[in-house]
């Protein structure tokens, strides 16, 4: 839309009515204007140019040769329909928009009512699935062991309390089961592309939504905001043709209250009828929320008529308003943060929310792309043939399917995916975990059964939500000294003790000293192969030896486990690894902390460990937010967004970041502020806090030379003669007679016109690989790197299995004896080949003994950087 007119009253045959006219952007299939009538005119209050509008059941009429559209009696107006709003968010928004905002900032806390709510919901689901009550309770409480332990809860009394809640469910269920026509479904995932709403209904009974609340309610009617949730599901069910005109709220605490002390209606189940007025209200509330998110504005609380004096969050609300100088219905208390901090908060908030919008755009692809397009985009595995299912003993289902074709996809074993009967929007869909995925078969576990015909990558907002929480924790709850230093009001300070821990490498020794001597933070700048992992392991050993409790973190699970492996070699075994079973490497499972188990044992194990290791995303979890450390070490820090790094460093008094801002930057969709890592910012602001590791243990002299000059001011050099002069001869390859490149070589090919794929070049690459294999190299010693996935596929088809072919991102952190790089460069190089030069730095520095660059020399020469690369490679 481009413009919205004022709301005005006109006389109609139905009497006086309000209307507002919205002007739309010109397009072939869109009308010029749409007239909103009655209650939909309120939409005009918050519409802004650029927003998208969807109108269902429009009324059409011809006027002066033009078709005009307006809302009809059955119409809904949906603002920004592609922004999928979660049902629980709509509920919270209706209660108070500001509370919705505050919850988004602070994340779900580690608190007993939250943990208990989850337990009761699990037991409810299990009861609907026909499980035995005692087994269900025992399992649920056991699974929550760690959280209950951190909360200091006694498992017996938790079991008892959950049992009381469950008795309300049981009683009601037994009533319900008396009739024949009761059909049940627990936990039903619903996504609507029309209304821009997603959610998971606790249960559907006779086609009607049932929601569970672990609170009490002694009134006859459900609470208004509780009704909202059930009404959302009714709306989504109606869209699927189910007439859901009644909702049920089940207040399980009603069964646990002392009947002698409480009066009122103590029956847990409260039904209410859902009319069109309520459904429209739900959509209008959702629209307000989506519009607020579109404009990234901050709600004040005045949008609703909630009463602040009855709100549990009133104090928190006033403090946040006071510190960030936000307008709030509850008022402000406390002193305002310095302007620089408020600006920082706002800048990062907007950057994180921009990233969230990108994730929402990913959701929209679920319905905007056809199944074939999604499969071609590697986002779905389609055309599966159901091949049986079995119910699991602890509830849940294992679904099997055959794969007629083994097309590639991003989906891997262990991933959480959206499993569906072929249509994830209009059909049946459930979140599931991929247990097996090979060329012929798929096995997925879900809570509910379905005919498994399709798997989709399901985007997750978890990492953006955790970034936001980390930003909140840092700016609003962070240590003052930490903020003084990170906001540039104070300089970081260092002691100058010489520890002399690493005798054979001066730079590593200096880096270890700088980190051990830091009062605030230290930065270790490690170019490729310079022993970052080794330095981290040494540092962890030294910190622990002096009595510090250490948190080790990295962007990826792989880096965390790599570092742990090096730490094990330092004879440290008092390690707790926090992560999921599928995320943690096999040989590190022994350190992994399970959520399930005895509460006190699990909590003590975590609390007492001198070394805890987890990815930065996990550092933002409820469990990890309960922990504190003397020092936090972060590997791959240059790949982390600033809030991503904050999630880890918020946990400790001091921190050490290890990274290389001349290698891969943070991967973000929206770009902007998040592409600069905290590592990069700090090393520029405080070069004195950093130490460059200069000696590399990986590459032959000739290979590292270009990287050293271009990225490290010529300071990078081989650690010793053996590294510098290594050659394929060391591996028994006679390069003279096998005619392969030893060292660095360039192979000129004439580029094609397709920007992303070049079959001829792929052919040449395959020939080169073949020659190395003929010369006696193992497949596992050779790697091929291409800038685009299409070219990766093209080459992958031509080289034998076992030769790694991938994009740069997948190669970061690894190395090969021989690396072949395919540039796919054509014409005047208008698009960046490796997006930025840093990617090429990573690609080339994977090679130990030989590096072959394959590309169109004429095209490459049009860019100064690549021209210098050619001169070096052809020397
Ligand atoms: N001070 C040292 N003395 C002897 N060997 C070392 C030293 N530091 C590192 N190495 C060796 O150098 C190799 C590379 O080290 P490491 O794996 O720690 O590098 P890295 O910087 O983590 O690599 P990447 O760039 O892939 O992240 C390893 O084999 C390691 O044992």
- CA pair distance 189, 368, nearest whole angstrom: 19
Helix (H, G, I), strand (E, B) or coil at 747: strand
pLDDT tens string 501-533: 999 999 999 999 999 999 999 999 999 999 999
What is the position in ligand 1's atom list of the atom closest to the CA of 813? Answer: 26
Q: Report which ligand 1 atom has the smallest distance to the Cα of 502.
A: 1
Residue 285: per-residue pLDDT: 95
pLDDT digits (tens, 9 = 90+) for 734-787: 877 788 889 999 999 987 766 678 888 999 999 999 999 999 999 999 999 998
Higher pLDDT, 633 or 826: 633
Atom number of ligand 1 nearest to Cα 505: 1
Q: What is the pLDDT of residue 181?
A: 52
Which atom from ligand 1 is nearest to the alpha carbon of 530?
21
Taking CA atoms only, the protein residue closest to ligand 1 atom 26 is 813
Q: Which atom from ligand 1 is nearest to the alpha carbon of 527?
A: 25
Q: What is the pLDDT of residue 183?
A: 66
Rounded Cα distance between 852 and 768, Å, is 9
Rounded-to-integer distance, Cα 129 and Cα 20, Å: 49
Measured CA distances, 805 to 353, 457, 769, 801, 826 (Å): 34, 23, 11, 9, 21
802 Ramachandran zone, left/alpha/beta (phi>0; psi -120 to 50): left
Residue nearest to ligand 1 atom 19, measured at CA: 531
pLDDT at 407: 72
Q: What is the whole-number distance in angstroms between the Cα of residue 789 and the centre of ligand 1?
A: 30
What pLDDT is attached to residue 76? 93
| Mean pLDDT value across residues 126-139 | 88
pLDDT at 830 exceeding the cut of 80: no
Secondary structure class of 753 (helix, strand, coil): coil
Distance between CA atoms of residues 511 and 691, nearest Å: 5
**Percent of the chain scoring above 70 in pLDDT:** 96
Residue spans of beta strands (DSSP E) within 30-173? 33-37, 53-55, 59-63, 66-70, 77-79, 85-86
3-class secondary-structure state, position 263? coil
Per DSSP bridges, beta strands 208-213 and 246-251 are parallel
Ligand 1 pocket mutation, candidates 529, 639, 845, criterion most atoms within 8 A of CB: 529
Strands 8-12 and 15-23: antiparallel
Query: For strand 33-37 and strand 66-70, is the pairing parallel, antiparallel, or unpaired?
Result: parallel
Q: How far is the CA of 666 from the centre of ligand 1 (A)?
A: 23
Query: Is the pLDDT score of 5 beyond 80?
Result: no
Residue 204 pLDDT: 87
Q: Is the pLDDT of residue 418 over 90?
A: yes
Residue 197: predicted pLDDT = 96
Tell me the CA–centroid distance for residue 720 and ligand 1, in Å: 13
Q: What spacing in Å lies between the alpha carbon of 675 and ligand 1's midpoint?
A: 27
HEC profile of 122-154: HHHHHHHCCCCHHHHHHHHHHHCHHHHHHCCCC
E strand or H helix at 444: strand 441-446
pLDDT at 85: 95
* Size of the chain in residues: 875
Taking CB atoms and a 6 Å cutoff, what residues make up the pocket around ligand 1? 502, 504-505, 508, 526, 528-534, 697, 813
CB 540 within 8 A of CB 567: yes
Four-point Cα dihedral 144, 146, 149, 153, nearest 10:
-10
Residue pair 837/828 in contact by the 8 Å Cβ criterion:
no
- Which residue among 511, 525, 534, 720 has the greatest number of ligand 1 atoms within 8 angstroms of its CB, and so is best to mutate? 534
The rounded Å distance from CA 534 to ligand 1 centre is 5
Answer yes or no: is pLDDT of 318 > 90: yes
Q: Are 51 and 162 contacting, i.e. CB atoms less than 8 angstroms apart? A: no
Contact call for residues 744 and 778 (beta carbons, < 8 A): no
Predicted pLDDT of residue 68: 80
- Residue 20: what pLDDT? 81
Helix (H) or strand (E) holding 602: helix 599-608
**Dist CA 754 CA 655 (whole Å):** 47
Distance (angstroms) between ligand 1 centre and the Cα of 533 equals: 6
Residue 38: pLDDT band with limits 50, 70, 90: confident
Predicted pLDDT of residue 653: 97
> Model confidence at 342, in pLDDT bands (50, 70, 90)?
very high
* 455 vs 520: CA distance, rounded Å: 47
**Which of 524, 531, 708 has most ligand 1 atoms within 8 Å of its beta carbon, as the pocket-test mutant?**
531
Q: What is the pLDDT of residue 168?
A: 81
pLDDT (tens digit per residue) in 168-184: 888 877 776 545 555 66
What's the rounded mean pLDDT across residues 457-476?
94
Whole-number Å distance between alpha carbons of 418 and 433: 9
Report pLDDT for 61. 83
What pLDDT is attached to residue 678? 98
Provide the mean pLDDT of the chain.
90
- Give nearest CA residue, ligand 1 atom 28: 531
Tens digit of pLDDT for each residue in 766-776?
999 999 999 99
How does residue 852 score in pLDDT terms, banded at 50, 70 and 90?
very high
Q: For the chain, report the end-to-end CA distance as a whole number of angstroms.
A: 59
Cα 845 to averaged position of ligand 1 atoms, centre (Å): 14
Contact 853, 741 (CB under 8 A): no
pLDDT at 344: 97
Mean pLDDT within 355-374: 92
Ligand 1 mean position to 528 CA, how many Å?
9
Please say if the pLDDT value at position 468 is more than 60: yes
Provide the pLDDT confidence category of residue 413 given band limits of 50, 70 and 90: confident
Calculate how far, in angstroms, residue 17's C-alpha sits from the geometric centre of ligand 1.
75
What is residue 481's predicted lDDT score, i.e. its pLDDT? 97
CA-nearest residue for atom 4, ligand 1, is: 504
Do 64 and 255 meet the contact criterion of CB atoms below 8 Å apart? no
* Mean pLDDT across 357-383: 91
pLDDT exceeds cutoff 90 at 115: yes
Distance 219 CA to ligand 1 centre (A): 67
Write the CB contacts of 652 (distance below 8 Å, at least 6 apart in sequence): 551, 628, 629, 630, 631, 632
Q: Whose CA is nearest to atom 9 of ligand 1?
A: 531
Q: Which residue has the least CA distance to atom 16 on ligand 1?
A: 531
Query: Given this model, what pLDDT does residue 827 score?
Result: 66
CA distances from 156 to 116, 121, 135, 841 (A): 13, 18, 14, 58
* CA 270 to ligand 1 center in whole angstroms: 65
Residue from 510, 525, 533 whose mutation best tests the ligand 1 pocket (most atoms within 8 A of CB)? 533
**Element of type H or E holding 554:** strand 550-554
Ligand 1 atom 15: the closest Cα is on which residue? Answer: 531
Confidence of residue 793 (pLDDT cuts 50, 70, 90): confident
Please give the pLDDT value at position 832.
54
pLDDT of residue 154: 94
């Amino acid at each position: 839309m481009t413009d919205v007119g004022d709301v005005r009253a006109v006389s109609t045959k139905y009497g006086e009515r309000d209307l507002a006219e919205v002007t739309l952007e010109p397009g072939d299939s869109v009308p010029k204007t749409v007239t909103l009538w009655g209650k939909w005119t309120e939409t005009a209050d918050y519409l802004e140019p650029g927003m998208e509008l969807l109108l269902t059941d429009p009324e059409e009429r011809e006027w002066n040769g033009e078709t005009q559209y307006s809302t009809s009696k059955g119409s809904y107006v949906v603002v920004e329909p592609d922004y999928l709003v979660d049902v629980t968010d709509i509920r919270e928004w209706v209660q108070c928009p500001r509370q919705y905002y505050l919850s988004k900032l602070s994340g779900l806390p580690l608190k007993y009512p939250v943990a208990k709510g989850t337990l009761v919901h699990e037991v409810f689901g299990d009861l609907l699935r026909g499980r035995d009550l005692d087994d269900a309770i025992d399992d649920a409480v056991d699974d929550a062991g760690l959280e209950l332990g951190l909360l200091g809860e006694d498992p017996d009394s938790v079991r008892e309390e959950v049992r009381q809640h469950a008795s309300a469910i049981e009683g009601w269920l037994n009533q319900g089961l008396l009739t024949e026509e009761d059909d049940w479904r627990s936990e039903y995932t619903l996504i609507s592309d029309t209304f821009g709403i997603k959610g998971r209904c606790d249960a559907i009974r006779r086609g009607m939504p049932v929601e569970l609340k672990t609170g009490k309610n002694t009134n006859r009617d459900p609470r208004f905001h509780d009704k909202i949730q059930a009404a959302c599901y009714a709306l989504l069910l109606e869209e699927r043709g189910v007439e859901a005109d009644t909702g049920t709220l089940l207040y399980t605490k009603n069964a646990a209250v002392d009947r002698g002390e409480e009066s009122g209606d103590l029956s847990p189940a409260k039904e209410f009828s859902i009319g069109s007025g309520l459904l429209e209200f739900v959509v209008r509330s959702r629209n307000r929320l989506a519009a607020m998110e579109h404009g990234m504005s901050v709600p004040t609380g005045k949008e609703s008529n909630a009463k602040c004096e009855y709100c549990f969050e009133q104090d928190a609300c006033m403090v946040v308003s006071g510190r960030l100088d936000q307008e709030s219905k509850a008022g402000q208390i406390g002193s305002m943060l310095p302007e620089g901090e408020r600006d920082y908060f706002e800048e990062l908030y907007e950057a994180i929310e921009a990233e969230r919008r990108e994730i929402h755009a990913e959701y929209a692809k679920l319905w905007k792309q056809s199944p074939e397009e999604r499969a071609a985009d590697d986002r779905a595995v389609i055309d599966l043939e159901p091949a049986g299912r079995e119910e699991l003993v602890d509830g849940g289902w294992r679904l099997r399917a055959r794969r007629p074709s083994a097309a590639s996809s991003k989906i891997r074993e262990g991933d959480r995916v959206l499993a569906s009967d072929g249509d994830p929007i209009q059909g049946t869909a459930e979140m599931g975990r991929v247990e097996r995925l090979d060329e012929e078969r798929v096995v997925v576990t879900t809570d509910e059964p379905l005919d498994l015909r399709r798997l989709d990558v399901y985007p997750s907002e978890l990492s953006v939500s955790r970034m936001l929480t980390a930003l909140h924790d840092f700016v609003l709850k962070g240590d003052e000294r930490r903020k003084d230093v990170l906001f540039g009001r104070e300089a970081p300070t260092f002691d100058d003790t010489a520890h002399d821990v690493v005798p054979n490498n001066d730079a590593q020794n200096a880096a270890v000293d700088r980190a051990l001597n830091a009062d605030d933070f230290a930065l270790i700048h490690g170019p490729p192969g310079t022993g970052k992992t080794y330095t981290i392991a040494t540092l962890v050993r030294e910190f622990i030896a002096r009595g510090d409790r250490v948190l080790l973190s990295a962007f990826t699970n792989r880096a965390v486990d790599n570092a742990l492996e090096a730490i094990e070699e330092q004879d440290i075994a008092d390690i707790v690894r926090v992560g999921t079973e599928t995320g943690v490497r096999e040989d590190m499972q022994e350190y992994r902390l399970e959520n399930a188990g005895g509460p006190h044992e699990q909590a003590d194990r975590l609390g007492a460990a001198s070394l805890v290791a987890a990815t930065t995303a996990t550092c933002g979890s409820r469990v990890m937010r309960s922990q504190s450390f003397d020092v936090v070490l972060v590997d791959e820090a240059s790949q982390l967004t600033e809030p991503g790094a904050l999630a880890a460093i918020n946990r400790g008094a001091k921190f050490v970041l290890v990274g290389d801002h001349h290698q891969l930057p943070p991967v973000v969709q929206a770009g902007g502020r998040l592409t600069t890592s905290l590592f990069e910012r700090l090393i520029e602001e405080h070069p004195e806090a950093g130490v460059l590791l200069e000696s590399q243990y990986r590459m032959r002299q000739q290979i590292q030379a270009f990287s050293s000059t271009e990225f490290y001011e010529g300071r990078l050099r081989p650690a010793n003669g053996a590294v510098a002069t290594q050659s394929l001869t060391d591996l028994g390859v006679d390069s003279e007679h096998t005619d392969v490149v030893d060292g660095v070589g360039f192979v000129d090919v004439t580029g094609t016109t397709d920007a992303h794929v070049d079959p001829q070049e792929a052919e040449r690459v395959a020939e080169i690989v073949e020659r190395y294999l003929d010369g006696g190299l193992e497949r596992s010693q050779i790697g091929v790197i291409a800038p685009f996935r299409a070219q990766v596929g093209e080459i992958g088809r031509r080289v034998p299995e076992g030769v790694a072919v991938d994009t740069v991102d997948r190669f970061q952190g690894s190395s090969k004896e021989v690396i072949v790089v395919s540039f796919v460069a054509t014409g005047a190089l208008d698009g960046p080949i490796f997006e930025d030069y840093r990617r090429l730095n990573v690609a080339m520095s994977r090679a130990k003994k030989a590096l072959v660059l394959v590309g169109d020399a004429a095209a490459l020469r049009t860019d100064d950087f690549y021209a210098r690369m050619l001169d070096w490679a052809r020397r």
